[in-house]
């Protein structure tokens, strides 16, 4: 998948950031997802405006870890969010309007 052209966006689900963590509720499935501080940061960045590449860029600037590690882990996390239907991943070219 081309992560430059993949834009993850939170679905309309109840959620709150609490301190640095977050709680996300899947109403349809009746599930509660607690996210740790890194997960909460990624969740916050999944606004539909940033591509996965851009999210990785933000995280690389904030966390002291090699970019490939951050990229692999962030992508795995985003894919899990998508599998849980908490986010959608839109494919579009950079600069193309939603």
Partner 1 sequence: MIFEGCAQNAGLGDASLLALISAKADRNRTPLNVHLELTYRCNEQCVHCYCVVEHGREQEVRRHELTLGEIRRLLDELADMGALYLTLSGGEVMVRPDFFDIAEHARARGFAYRVFTNGIGLTEAKVERLAALEPLTVELSIFSADPEVHDAITRVPGSFRRLMAAIERLQRHGLRVYLKTVVMKPNIDGLAKLDRLGRDLGVFTHTYSCEVSPRVDGAVPRDGHAPQDYQLDADELFRYLRDSTWSEQLDPQEGRPEEVARQRATCGPATNGCCIDPYGNVYPCVAFRVPIGNVRRTPFRELWTAPPPAIRDLLSVQHYADLPECAACELVGFCNRCHGDNLLERGEGEWKRCHERARALAGAQRRLYQIRTAGRS
Asked if residue 9 binds partner 1 (CB under 8 A), the reply is: no
Of 13 and 90, the one with the shorter C-beta distance to partner 1 is: 13
The interface mask with partner 1, positions 21-40, x = CB under 8 A, is x-x-x-xx-xxxxxxx-xx-
User: Given the rule CB under 8 A, which of 1-9, 11-19, 44-52, 89-97 is the region that contacts partner 1?
Assistant: 11-19
**Counting beta carbons within 10 angstroms of the beta carbon of residue 21, is it exposed (0 to 12), middle (13 to 18) or buried (19 or more)?**
middle
CA distance 35 to 32: 10
Residue 66: name the closest of 78, 56, 76 by CA.
Answer: 56
Residue 8, CA distances (Å) to 15, 30, 37, 64 in order: 16, 22, 18, 23
Residues 37-66 contacting partner 1, CB under 8 A: 38-39, 42, 63-65
Contacting residues toward partner 1, per CB under 8 A? 13-19, 21, 23, 25, 27-28, 30-36, 38-39, 42, 63-65, 69-70, 73-74, 76-77, 80-81, 83-84, 86
């Amino acid at each position: 998948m081309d992560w430059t052209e993949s834009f993850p966006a939170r679905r309309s689900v109840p959620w709150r950031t609490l301190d640095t963590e977050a709680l996300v509720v899947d109403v349809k499935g009746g599930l509660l997802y607690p996210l740790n501080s890194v997960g909460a940061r990624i969740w916050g960045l999944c606004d539909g405006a940033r591509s996965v590449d851009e999210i990785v860029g933000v995280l690389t600037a904030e966390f002291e870890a090699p970019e490939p590690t951050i990229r692999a882990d962030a992508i795995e996390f985003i894919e899990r969010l998508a599998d849980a239907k908490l986010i959608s991943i839109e494919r579009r070219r950079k600069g193309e309007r939603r």
